[in-house]
Amino acid sequence: MIRKRNDGFHDIETLFYPVQLCDAMEFVIQPGKPVTDQLTTTGIDINTRPEKNLVLTALKRIREKYHIPFLRIHLHKAIPSGAGLGGGSSDAACMLVSLNKSFRLDLDEDSLREIALKIGSDCPFFINPLPSVGTGRGEKLTTLPPFLEGLHIVLINPGIRINTRDAYLNTRPGRSKERLEPLINDNIINWKKYIKNDFEDYVFKVHPLIGDIKKSLYSSGALYASLSGSGSTVYGIFEEKPLIREGLQKYFIWTGRL
């Protein structure tokens, strides 16, 4: 995190890298004469009232300019809430892209990203999620080649929900001496010397278990491990598919090739 801006947001420098963990969503036009949209959710309980779900926020944003009939939407959650994995933002972006395609709105990616930014700072990335360095609020994306291809990633989440606002309020901004892009082009073994998530100091202090998970991933042979975003998920990147230690198995949510 570089600095707090006059508009209340923060300038950041971060790496976005897509993984195959995802939620599932479908929608149909409601028959008859409905007066509102219907949203049902299954899977992980995200403890969010339907009217506060970012999927409906995305739908409302599109309706500011386009006529969209009332929909019946089903969202199956596999990504935990408050986990730093962009679950809500990716759902919203999926809704924007799906509405654009289904109702032939002919919005290009830049237009979709402009709408997505009104929903969340990380939402524009998920319009077309490619490895990217994000600057500004996170919306200024510099696309990178898939430089971690072939490595394995493990996602560990202890079920703790981190409030994004609290994470930002309790993290001191400061510019790194070096830009992120040259650092990530270095050998991944060297990342732990130079690349750190600024939210870790606050999150690990309030929830020591999350810090312990990071240490356990390193002791399990991770080439690099870090907190993901401002949430409670810790990821480890490994050269080969690792064995998940017994102490971590109850918090395991996903593993796969990058």
Q: What is the pLDDT of residues 153-209, one digit of tens each?
A: 999 999 998 988 898 889 887 766 678 888 999 999 999 999 999 999 999 999 999
Do 46 and 105 reside in the same domain of the chain?
A: yes
Domain that holds residue 112: 24-127
Do 177 and 95 reside in the same domain of the chain?
A: no
Rounded Cα gap, residues 188 and 148, in angstroms: 9
Structure tokens at 176: 């790194």
Rounded Cα gap, residues 107 and 100, in angstroms: 6
pLDDT of residue 176: 65
Region 55-75 average pLDDT: 97
Structure tokens at 257: 């090739």
Determine, yes or no, domain membership for 142.
no
Q: CA distances (Å), 214 to each of 59, 156, 188, in order?
A: 37, 9, 16
Do 253 and 152 reside in the same domain of the chain?
A: yes
Determine, yes or no, domain membership for 65.
yes
Rounded Cα gap, residues 32 and 10, in angstroms: 45
- Choose one of 127, 161, 189: the last residue of a domain: 127
Region 98-116 average pLDDT: 98
- Choose one of 68, 97, 127: the last residue of a domain: 127
Do 230 and 155 reside in the same domain of the chain?
A: yes
Q: CA distances (Å), 173 to each of 4, 5, 170, 176, 211, in order?
A: 7, 11, 10, 10, 20
Answer yes or no: are the C-beta atoms of 135 and 176 closer than 8 Å. Answer: no
Determine, yes or no, domain membership for 182.
yes
What CATH number does residue 64 fall under? 3.30.230.10
Do 246 and 187 reside in the same domain of the chain?
A: yes
Q: What pTM did the predictor assign?
A: 0.93
For the chain, the domain total comes to: 2
Rounded Cα gap, residues 42 and 20, in angstroms: 19
Residue 17 predicted with pLDDT over 80: yes
- Choose one of 96, 127, 158: the last residue of a domain: 127
Structure tokens at 63: 């309706």
Structure tokens at 117: 């930014």
